[in-house]
A and B are shown apart, each in its own frame.
Chain A
Amino acid sequence: MDEKKYQSKYKRVGQAYDRKDAREKVTGQAVFTYDMELPGMLHARCLLSPYARARIVSIDTSKAKALPGVRAVLCGEDSDILVGLYMQDKRVLAKGETRYHGDVVAAIAADDEETAERAISLLDVVYEPLQPVHDVDEALRAEILVHDDINELKHYVGVFFPQKDSNIASWNKSKKGDLDMAFEEADLVVENEFSLPAVAHAPMETHVAIVQADPYSNKVRIWSSAQSPFAIRQIMADSFGISESDVEVHIPYVGGGFGGKAGIHLEPLATLLSRAAGGLPVKVRATREQEFNQLPTRAGMRGRIKTGVTKEGKLTGVRAVYDWDSGAYADYGVNVGKTAVYSGIGPYKVDNASIDSKTIYTNKVFSTAYRGFGHLETHWSIERQMDILSQHLQIDPYEFRMMNLLKPGDQTMSGEVITESNGSPSDCLTAVVKEIGWTGRKTEEERQREWKTGKVRGKGFAMLQKAPAMPANTSTSVIMQMNGDGHVKLMIGAVDFGQGAITALAQIAAQELDIPIEHIEISAEIDTRANPYDWNTVASKLIFMGGNAVIKASREMLRKMKEIAAQALRTDPENLLHANGEVYHRHSPERRLTYKQIALGYMYPNGTGIGGPLISSGSSIADGLTNLHPETGQGYPAAVWTFGAHAIEIEVDVETGYVDVLKVASAFDIGQVINEKLVYGQICGGVVQGLGSALLEGYKFNSDEQLMNPSFTDNKIPTMKDIPGKIVPIYIENPQHNGPYGARGVGEHPMISVPSAVGNAVYDALGINFHVLPLSPEAIALGIASGKKSILCTDVDCLPGRH
């Protein structure tokens, strides 16, 4: 970042410390699950379904079993274990019917990978191919059911709503006001459809798990590249019918997650293989191809938005229908769908609104959490719709948004009243619009003039909002212990998979205790036997919830220190203050003790000790949240909203269709910067990842729903060369009164609404509204060539201009 340097009002919170894990990672010392080898460890390979939907007629495993070096061969007949976060809908090994091209039909553990792979090729499976469910429209017709047992599936009752005899894993709803009246009163009602394809998380380290399952007891030891050790433990216990304490989960360093490693993935399969192999540890590792076509992805989505607005630009009503193509299993997909019913109209005041969000089964690769958790998708719809409305109204899109943004006293979609403590959406918008030098939309004459040069510039912006999507009683905890040298060991249950959690939480502890950050010992490696509970490392909730837990633990630690020090100094704890690693008397500061003197208990000159090793803890539970009403969606789902905005300047090559991103300005009301370097990293990474969704990424399937781009050859993500000319981060600091130092989460937010801002900039440049992502060079060039002003489809099969 250039220009003005961020200045914090605190000594440690807000300072740009290096990541605590930086040296270990850049010097290659950090150990990831992928690197790990355990004594006697076996290697696994899977046979995946060659059809989107097929009946498994027979499996002959005899040749594979006879191959020397093969220790276990498993297929659906060997285990009926079902897993699932919110819907128990996924068999570890397919039986009867396969549901997508990545379903595991058989798995083999052998002495080495080559033997396992050879054994896979010796399996003789007879399939009867069945007609798959291709897309959400076909799925909604329910002529074929992806799960014919949908009526019996065990699920999280009252929060998710699977529909009888359908392909709808959950239909979530919200409504308020009188929508018919709102559309009647509107001067203008505009309806549009927007869509975007599934995309991959593409972490550097693919999914990998090593499991050692004791064949003589329920004990299961897991090492996994995962975001959620405690969720793995709980789901393993549920699915295998064992107790949580039977399951021990170790998370070494994790090479990227982006939501794709939340929940549970390869661990159950590795467990079954280890048991079958007599308890030897088994490593199951996804190849890059499997990472794309077996492990889950971000769902494709279609949004249909109908908006009523007065001619002055006041929103009267919004009807939103979101259909999520979740593929074969619900996983996190149903919860992604759920967020749309309380966040799916964007950060606007709308008194009359209804949202229907359906998470739908099809026979494609299934979906899960992905940075932004549905918000990139819903904002692609809402923020493009807002831009199109402003075109119809001939009102500046900035003015139009400012007129409708949430402000204190307004209600969110679910009926929560916004206060000053929520931060300010309009501060964010104003900041980015100013940064980008917005002076109003380009005129047609200006466009024509620039067009002759072959390159047209455009500016666009979009709002964003997100709150953690989590159960109403989500909680986290930390344990703090002082070492003999006065340093502090901080243990958390959440995983630092690159987002900087351990550094940021260490800073909060250092600030509270007033000791250098180097004196906080904290590890990214988690062991459920030792580390305290955390629900899941997802949802951009850790700074908020974990930060509060660290503050509590720190204050408890200080209280205990002062009690001992008061005894030693012969005073009342009330008289004691702390600074720079010392406790001292507020009236006579020469009466003081260093932390080190009391860390393991204070010792009098004659050797007598008091106190004992200092230890404290802190817990934090989501405050005042409720489940949403099943019909109206009213309630309190949001522990902490973070609002933001992006403004983007682009240049379009009108012949090749290439969109050059010149500048991105991103503002977030994060309440308080905890670490400027880390938040800047989150913003740059999120913006670039968002640009991937905007310009480049997307799954392509053939007619049997087989992924046609299951590798980096054709499933492109941005590279170093694709980073925009300039990324300007803007930190807005309206404090959240119940946040640690006023802070809110921002991990996911930089990705949200980047595509909508690009789409709006493309309109500014070309005068063409694109409704489909990605805005690839091909889509843009052929969109221009079509001569149409609205581009509704850019699939290979329905390219504009082809008809």
Chain B
Amino acid sequence: MISRFTYFKPHNLNEAVQYLEKKEKSFVLAGGTDLMILLRRNLINAEHIVDIKALPETTAFEFIEGAGLTIGASVVVNTVVDSEVVKAKYPALNEAAASLASYQLRNRATVVGNICNASPGADLPPALLVYDAVVNIAGPQGMRQVPLHEFFTGVKRTVLQRGELVVSVQMPEPGEGDKSIYLRQARLRGHDLATVGVASRIKPDGKVAIGICAVAPTPKRLFALEDMINERGLSQETIEWAAEEIREHIRPITDVRSSAQYRLQMASVLLKRGLLALIGKEA
């Protein structure tokens, strides 16, 4: 059934949260690139659309030395792609952002929307995860913070409760010598969803962080694998070992986009290539 909804554009956070809490079947609109598809295909029955772009808290895009980066919920992906700070400090995020959909869509799609849509194959979460991103959530009880790796609860599901709204996502500043890379495999060069996407990061102390999408019900940070790699010490040999070991840490499915078998292989290849590239930079 085609949705018939009320459009509401609040100008302060309280107003937004109260409305979302009070009204059933409310959906948050920022870029709309996911919401419009759901509406057009009648996959949701929306009665209220709450446009959050006029909330001052959602428009923040700032890097504070020592504190890190904050990306508000209305900030579009191309803002991140074009940011010199992101390029310099968070290269994997820059690369993931630049790989998302097409230029036109990136002009509308928001970073936070990519998180909130909670698609298993979302490109930005792997990069945000390796930077220990924290999600700032406003709700009827005030603000709360949830680490991104605890934010996703399933396919298209998050910890967000009724009345809650993600205001921004923030990441600490990486130290000197920090490196990262995002690699993805798709069916073609033009815009496509990732078959698998892997963000790899080597911190200044030599410890690795690995984020991955499209191989499990949610984007994932592979903490256990990271520990095993860190224990062994990073080397070409460890990387080759890790590229095999990663198969034990993910549970891809076969769908119209790819077989599970190919996803396993690509997770392995992308992790290997990513880490090798990072230590190559080091050498």
Contact = CB atoms under 8 A, between A and B. Distances in A.
A31 interface: no
Given A117-B2, A656-B269, A718-B188, A782 B261 contact: yes
A777 B259 contact: no
B256 A714 contact: yes
Nearest to A117: B2
Nearest to A691: B188
Contact of A799 (B2, B192, B195, B259): B259
Interface in A750-803: 776-778, 781-782, 785, 796, 799, 801-802
A41 to B, nearest CB: 20
Contacts of B262: 657, 777-778, 781-782
Contact of B185 (A695, A719, A777, A801): A777
B188 A799 contact: no
A711 to B, nearest CB: 9
Given A118-B2, A714-B257, A696 B269 contact: no
B190 A719 contact: yes
Interface in A114-142: 114, 117-118, 121
Contacts of B188: 695-696, 716, 718-719, 721-722
B261 A802 contact: yes
Given A114-B2, A118-B2, A700-B256, A716 B261 contact: no
A713 interface: yes
Interface string B245-283: 000000000101111011001100100000000000000
A117 to B, nearest CB: 6
A803 to B, nearest CB: 12
A720 interface: yes
A253 B265 CA distance: 47
A794 to B, nearest CB: 9
Contacts of B190: 716, 718-722
Of A117, A657, A708, A716, which is in contact with the most chain B CB atoms at under 10 Å from its CB?
A716
Given A655-B269, A796-B254, A778 B259 contact: yes
Interface in B220-244: none
B49 interface: no
B259 A782 contact: yes
Interface string A357-371: 000000000000000
Interface string A695-738: 11000100000001100011010111110000000000000000
B191 interface: yes
Nearest to A720: B190
Contacts of A781: 262, 265-266
A709 B254 CA distance: 14
Q: Is the interface of A mostly helix, strand, loop or mixed?
A: loop
Given A114-B2, A121-B1, A655-B269, A719 B256 contact: no
B187 interface: yes
Nearest to A774: B187
Contacts of B258: 778
A524 B191 CA distance: 33
B187 A776 contact: yes
B193 interface: yes
Interface string A599-629: 0000000000000000000000000000000
Q: Is the interface of B mostly helix, strand, loop or mixed?
A: loop
A692 to B, nearest CB: 9
Contacts of B185: 656, 658, 777
A118 B195 CA distance: 36
B193 A713 contact: yes
A782 B266 CA distance: 11
A802 B1 CA distance: 42
A709 B189 CA distance: 19
Contacts of A656: 185, 266, 269
A708 B256 contact: yes
Contacts of A696: 187-188
Contacts of B266: 656, 781
A785 B268 CA distance: 13
Contacts of A720: 190
Contacts of A718: 188, 190
Contacts of A802: 261
B233 to A, nearest CB: 25
Contacts of A708: 256
Contacts of A722: 188-190
B2 A785 contact: no
Nearest to B266: A656
A802 B258 CA distance: 14
Nearest to A715: B256
A785 B247 CA distance: 15
Contacts of A695: 188
A29 to B, nearest CB: 23
Interface in B170-205: 185, 187-193, 195
A781 B262 CA distance: 8
Contacts of B192: 716
B259 A796 contact: yes
Contacts of A655: 265, 269
A716 B188 CA distance: 8
Interface string A676-705: 000000000000000000011000100000
Given A114-B2, A656-B269, A708-B256, A799 B187 contact: no
A721 B265 contact: no
A678 B257 CA distance: 36
Interface in A551-573: none
Contacts of B257: 714
Nearest to A794: B259
A469 B246 CA distance: 54
A716 B259 contact: no
Contacts of B261: 782, 799, 801-802
A156 to B, nearest CB: 38
A709 to B, nearest CB: 5
A781 B195 CA distance: 13
B155 to A, nearest CB: 16
Given A782-B262, A782-B265, A118 B1 contact: yes
Contacts of A801: 261
Nearest to B269: A655
A716 B192 CA distance: 8
Contacts of B195: 778
A671 to B, nearest CB: 35
A785 B259 CA distance: 14
Nearest to A714: B256
Interface string A650-667: 000001111000000000
Interface string B101-128: 0000000000000000000000000000
B40 to A, nearest CB: 9
A801 B259 CA distance: 12
A721 B189 contact: yes
B265 A719 contact: no
Contact of B191 (A117, A700, A719): A719
A118 B257 CA distance: 32
A802 B256 CA distance: 17
A801 B265 CA distance: 12
A799 B188 CA distance: 20
B256 A709 contact: yes
A657 B185 CA distance: 10
Interface string B121-151: 0000000000000000000000000000000
A719 B2 contact: no
A118 B256 CA distance: 30
Given A777-B262, A778-B262, 7 more contacts: A121-B1, A700-B256, A708-B256, A716-B187, A718-B190, A778-B187, A782-B259
Minimum-distance CB pairs A-B, first 3: A719-B190, A721-B189, A778-B262
30 contacts: A114-B2, A118-B2, A655-B265, A656-B266, A657-B262, A695-B188, A696-B187, A696-B188, A700-B256, A708-B256, A709-B256, A713-B193, A714-B256, A716-B192, A718-B188, A719-B189, A719-B190, A720-B190, A721-B189, A722-B188, A722-B189, A722-B190, A777-B187, A777-B262, A778-B187, A778-B259, A778-B262, A781-B262, A799-B259, A799-B261
